[in-house]
Structure 1
Amino acid sequence: DECNFRALPQSRTYEEEISAEPWFSVRENDIFPEEFERCLGLPGKLREVFLAHHADLFDPHFWRQQQARLRAGEVSHIFPYDRSIRLFEKS
Structure 2
Amino acid sequence: MAYDPGAIDATLAAALGNEPTLIAELRVAFVDSAERAIASIEAATDAAGWALGAARLKGLAASFGAVRLMALASEAAETPHDAEMVRKLRRAVGRL
**Which structure has the bigger radius of gyration?**
1
Considering fraction of residues, name the structure with more helix.
Answer: 2
Give the structure with the higher percent strand: 1
TM-score, L = length of structure 1:
0.29
Q: TM-score, normalised by structure 2?
A: 0.28
